[in-house]
Chains A and B, each alone.
Chain A
Amino acid sequence: MKFSHAWLREYVSLDEAPVEIGRRLTAAGLPLEGIAQPDAGDPDSAVYDFDILTNRPDCMNHVGLAREASALCGRPLRVPGPRVPPGGKATGSTVSITIDDTDLCRRYSARCLLGVSVTESPRWLRRRLESIGQRLINNVVDATNFVLWEMGHPLHPFDFDRVAHHRIIVRRARPGETLITLDGIERRLLPDTLVIADGRRPVALAGIMGGQASEIGPATRNVLLESAWFDPVSVRRTSKALGLHTDASHRFERGADPEATVRALDRAATLIAELAGGRITDPAVDVHPNPEAPRRVPLRPDRARVLLGYDPGRDAMRSILGSLGFHIDETDPARWEVTVPSYRRDVEREVDLIEEVARQKGYGAIPSLLPLLPDGSGGRGAEDRLAGRVRAALLASGLSEAINFAMSDREELLTLAPDISPVPITNPLQSQSAFLRTSLLPGLLHNLAHNLNHGGVHCHLFEIGRVFAPEGERPRESDRVAAVLAGRGLPEHWSLPRREVDLYDARGCVELLAGQLGISFLRFSSDRITAGAPISGLRLMAGASDVGVVGEVSARVLRRFDVDGRAFAFEIDLAALGAASARERRFTSLPRFPAVRRDLSLLASDPIGVPAIEAVIRAAGRLPIAGIEVFDRYVGPGVPAGCARVAIMIVFQHPERTLEAAEVQAAQEAIVAALQERLGATLRKDL
């Protein structure tokens, strides 16, 4: 918001350079965004750009900002006091004003100016308004704009002869009513819109914009000047609904000063009479059915010390509040009674008064301490710890971490998670992110495409993040971990042959993850993935429940993401992993007796089904088995079709004695016989 240095100096003496004024106001909570000074030698040419926050509509004008500067610099504020020459025609006999909806319009003040001549504004006024970037219209409109930027109260002038029956009614719009606003757009008025109507129809959107029909133009002879107070919520609603934001609506929706209407009206009326001639009707009409009593807020000076952590001192509090227009009653020295000026609608409580003191003194005066406060609960939650362990395991397996948006494209989500209808965002920024994600994979597949399209030879990424499923009024949120692997396999080294990633890379990550989390009953089940699934491979089971999937991304899905080649992926529910994860690790005594290793080379039907082989071996083994490992698999020339050659290592180990060679041999033979009988696997004799 733009402010002129010269204009501010009308109301307070400012000897400091504009940069210094900007610095002081910034330190008091009125942040300076920039200063332009076209004439380097003339401080009066300086124009400030302040970011006036929503709670300070009282500073959105030169007098308001000058008040802050006067308090900061300790110099008096000079507020213009207009004098309307008495004795003209009575306003009340000229115009009739009624407020139908007093809930939305608390006060309406008006005067007429009869016999004006609408022309260009004089040079001084043009310069004032142009310096802060305001458009010039004509002397009448410019005068109301000047008052807006001088004392902050928005006014509206009507061409009085276009106000039917010389009647003003402030009321809600009726069904079907429309209004062509000053910008030439015909507006359909919603039932709750507050309008200013004349004897026939709406002539203005209350507090936002006037109507074209009663616009001030060169032919205007008589002016009706409105100065009113409109309800912030009502103005804001209408302004939002119509997409119409104006200098007036900006102030009304933040809270204008109901006590300022007549003062602003008189200021504008005298200015117009001066610039455009005309007689001011007098006295003003002032419809103000329920005046508000001034707000009184208690202030315990000691509370300031408690809240701020230092004592600003009673003298400072007294002088700061006084110079900002607050009145203090110190009858009870421990509990002051502070009367809040009507333009400070943001000050409602004791803390607000304490903030006034703190910001005017400057936050630099506040000491710097550390709280000594115990927090019994402390530390990280279980979910956080789990995510950390999952992240560490996947980083260790060579995957890097990705973070993607929680929103995604509907079709992409349905491609990866066909069974869940994603929750839509009602006002998305773009269609690619218009639905809450039901899977982490679309984001990771986009990352894959991005990497490959930018010359990457591989992509090894995982993400830990939240997915959303529709459920009642609030979507159900759950955390997942997912990864996508493609391109060259890891590790890469000049001494190693290059290879492409395959299913075992993805599966290996999951196994390592399960191992790190101490999960013993995560099972890989290959029998539940239907043909044509987006990820074909293995289901991950914890007990009887599905917790995720690991496999190859289907060619159909990859085409959708513009990825050439092959890609492998997994996605697992984090809560399920957490539930399956070991709470604590139990120590097992180290074996005291030697292990005996036996290798078997089998010809078995393919696929072999490692869990089935292990189950048969354990059942038939007779002796305690410490480990079973398939350490080779061969399919190709020399092996009959439909079969595979499989090498299995079995480690026998007894906790209480050394095993005899003969009993190991017998156990091995029993195992071979069982494998033959149960699985049709035969011992290879041709080694």
Chain B
Amino acid sequence: MQSRVQDVRRQFDRDLEAATDPVSLSAVRLRYLGRKAGLVTGLLKDLRAVPPEERASLGQAVNDLKTHVEAALKAAGPGSREDVPSLSALELSLPGRAQRPGIPHPITQVRELIEAIFLEMGYSLESGPEVESDYYNFEALNIPPHHPARDTQDTFYVAGGMMLRTHTSPVQIRTMERRRPPLKMVAIGKAFRRDSDPTHSPVFHQVEGLVVGDGVAFAHLKGTLEHFCRRVFERDLVIRLRPSYFPFVEPGAEYDISCTFCGGGGCRPCKGSGWIEIGGAGMVHPAVFDHVGYDAERYTGFAFGLGIERIAMLKHGIDDIRLFYENDHRFLEQFTA
């Protein structure tokens, strides 16, 4: 029987070589592996009649033959090298085949860009809870109860006097409580305000930055914002700081960039002013240092904030903030990373 196995194998190799098209290939398959009359199938059936002492080695030989036949047929079958049509038979203008990756949300893309800029400057990334206490969201930031500044931060409350944080600034407090100067941190996350229109979403994403140490000055804030804005918008723009008021900084500022659309000449997006508002900033108020137990005489620091949606809208020319939260594939697919 051992010789029969050898014969079948030789015969198969010849037949396979002769079969050049799919039809003759399937005939070969039937001749050797057919359920009723297949030659290899027959060998397997006949094994039962072999005395037990020979069965092991013979069985091995038949099994090897079967593996060989299957593998050879598979290699010759569709998808194998011989089956690939020649270039002249192809419609070359049809699109190619690829596993397409998904698309990170445009907010994530801007977030990662901003994270990278600050990580390169040696900042740490910090985070905090989205549900905050009055202390972290307001009081420790020098906004006592009944302060009129609370009017501008329409707040969502949950039971027990807790609230959805109206900004990412509470992370400043949490980080300063945990660490001592010098520190350079950025926190990026969701913030919440009761406000909804094409440029305001009740849920939005904010970047919060804080630098505290010996000899940190307003000039450093300006340089940092300038470097950051140039990197984010990938152009050599000009930055402008204007005095403004946020209770947790003094002096306080709002910062603008020269219009990325008209370069400063005045156009619709900048309302003819040549400037586009980006965010708020300032030197950390001594009252904030008092709350976290930092020596306000020894240490100085600056803080800044901005909205991620606003940056994404400016970078991509998106005109309605609500688009970010519909998660429409037609929207997302415009932002292939």
Contact = CB atoms under 8 A, between A and B. Distances in A.
A429 B194 contact: yes
Contacts of B253: 363
A413 B35 CA distance: 56
A401 B152 CA distance: 32
Contact of B328 (A27, A375, A454): A454
B62 to A, nearest CB: 11
A29 to B, nearest CB: 3
Contacts of A399: 102
Contacts of A427: 156-157, 194
Interface stretch (A122-130, A291-299, A306-314): A306-314
Interface stretch (A91-99, A376-384, A609-617): A376-384
A308 B56 contact: no
B15 interface: no
The listed residue with most B CB atoms (<10 A of its CB), out of A232, A366, A493, A661, is A366
B329 A400 contact: yes
Interface in A392-434: 394-407, 423-429, 433
Interface string B303-337: 00000000000000000000011111110110000
Contacts of A368: 219, 222-223, 226, 239
B131 interface: yes
Size bin of chain B's contact surface? 35 or more
Contacts of A236: 146, 148
Contacts of B224: 370-371
Contact of B158 (A31, A364, A369, A475): A475
B130 A358 contact: no
A279 interface: no
A366 B164 contact: no
Interface in A23-41: 26-29, 31
A381 B174 CA distance: 15
Contact of B245 (A56, A371, A401, A405): A56
B78 interface: no
B185 A401 contact: no
Given A233-B146, A366-B218, A398-B101, A474 B162 contact: yes
Interface string A17-60: 00000000011110100000000000000000000011110000
A380 B159 CA distance: 32
Contacts of A429: 156, 194, 196, 202
Given A54-B148, A309-B219, A665-B60, A477 B156 contact: no
Contact of B216 (A351, A371, A407, A598): A371
Interface stretch (B1-9, B118-126, B259-267): B118-126
A393 B153 CA distance: 37
A363 B102 contact: no
Interface in B198-256: 202-203, 211, 213, 215-220, 222-224, 226-227, 239-245, 247, 250-254
B160 A474 contact: yes
Given A307-B217, A369-B223, A429-B196, A375 B184 contact: yes
Nearest to B179: A377
Nearest to B192: A406
B10 interface: no
Interface residues of A, number: 103
A368 B224 CA distance: 8
B131 A355 contact: no
B77 interface: no
A515 interface: no
Interface string B99-138: 1111111011000000100010111111101110100000
Contacts of B160: 473-474
B251 A351 contact: yes
A607 interface: no
A352 B224 CA distance: 23
A352 B242 contact: no
B220 A398 contact: no
Given A375-B122, A391-B104, A307 B333 contact: no
A234 to B, nearest CB: 9
Contacts of A378: 119, 122-124
A401 B217 contact: no
B26 interface: no
Given A363-B242, A384-B125, A401 B250 contact: no
B63 A665 contact: yes
A456 interface: yes
Contacts of B20: none
A354 B190 contact: no
Contact of B162 (A358, A403, A433, A475): A475
B326 A450 contact: yes
B211 to A, nearest CB: 6
Given A426-B158, A433-B202, A451-B329, 15 more contacts: A307-B217, A308-B219, A351-B286, A355-B252, A369-B217, A369-B219, A395-B103, A403-B324, A406-B190, A450-B328, A456-B328, A466-B130, A474-B129, A475-B131, A661-B57
15 contacts: A54-B152, A351-B285, A351-B286, A355-B250, A371-B224, A374-B182, A399-B102, A401-B332, A404-B325, A405-B202, A426-B157, A426-B159, A428-B156, A451-B328, A456-B329
Q: Which 10 A-B pairs have the closest CB atoms?
A: A309-B219, A29-B243, A309-B217, A359-B243, A355-B251, A402-B327, A363-B241, A400-B102, A447-B327, A371-B220
Interface of B: 33, 35, 41, 44, 56-57, 59-60, 63-64, 67, 94-95, 97-105, 107-108, 115, 119, 121-127, 129-131, 133, 145-146, 148-149, 151-152, 156-160, 162, 164, 179, 182-185, 190, 192, 194, 196, 202-203, 211, 213, 215-220, 222-224, 226-227, 239-245, 247, 250-254, 283, 285-286, 300, 324-330, 332-333
